[in-house]
Amino acid sequence: MQAKTEDGAPAERSYKGLNTSERQAMRRKQLMQAGIEVMGSRGYAGCSCKMICTQAGLTERYFYQNFANREALLQAIYQEHSERVMEEIASAVADCKGEQPELRIEAGLRAFYGDMRENPNIARILYIETSGVSPEMDDLLGSTTHGFAMMLIEQLRNYYPDKHLDVDDVELVAIGLVGSVNAILVHWLLCNFDKPLDSVLQSASFVFRAVSASLLSKS
């Protein structure tokens, strides 16, 4: 006879100490980690669901229980890690509360570039493999870029509360700044992180300082 919970619903069966929901969550995590390894090393176009399942040690049945297709896995990886990176940047900047704007900018950039250097497969997936996959993926990329841009605008307003920044103009500038940060990362990644982190930070910070100075001179 099947066990039931206190409210009379069938209890989830346990296997190796994990119930059904926990096992499914564990398999999803395995597939996402395998996706990072395979897509990050072979590229999105060069991998298949079967390769990912082999890496995860799972059958394709479990893949399709969690993801509709290979692109759905790519989107899940992208969303999880782009959100994580944004949170890390925001946390690094918040830890510099009260510091000069230049130091806050450097803290945010250091968090970003440092994370990408430590996780090259994730960096490749986020900033190379997602480009041109599908209109849906392009929409997700655009939405994420806009999110980073709005975070920059918020920081500028926090740094310079007495300055008026016209959002119609600043939004495009912020998107351009995000693009420059990403372009520096892609070049660094494709060159196998050949330059020291401090050198990359100096270059990216220079772009931020130049653009910020120009914006503020017109405010």
The answer to the question of residue 4 being in a domain is no
pLDDT of 141 higher than 80: yes
Same domain, 107 and 205: yes
Closest CA to 53 of 72, 40, 37: 37
Question: How many domains does the chain divide into?
Answer: 2
Q: What proportion of the chain, given as a percentage, has pLDDT over 70? A: 84
The answer to the question of residue 41 being in a domain is yes
pLDDT of 153 higher than 90: no
- Express each pLDDT in 190-216 by its tens digit: 999 999 999 999 999 999 888 877 766
Residue 199, domain extent:
70-217
Average of per-residue pLDDT values in the chain: 87
Q: Which of 94-108, 172-186, 194-208 has the lowest mean pLDDT?
A: 94-108
The answer to the question of residue 121 being in a domain is yes
The answer to the question of residue 159 being in a domain is yes
pTM, two decimals, is 0.85
Q: Which long-range contacts (CB under 8 A, 24 or more apart) does 10-14 make?
A: none
Q: Where does the pLDDT of residue 20 fall: very low under 50, low under 70, confident under 90, or very high at 90 and above?
A: confident
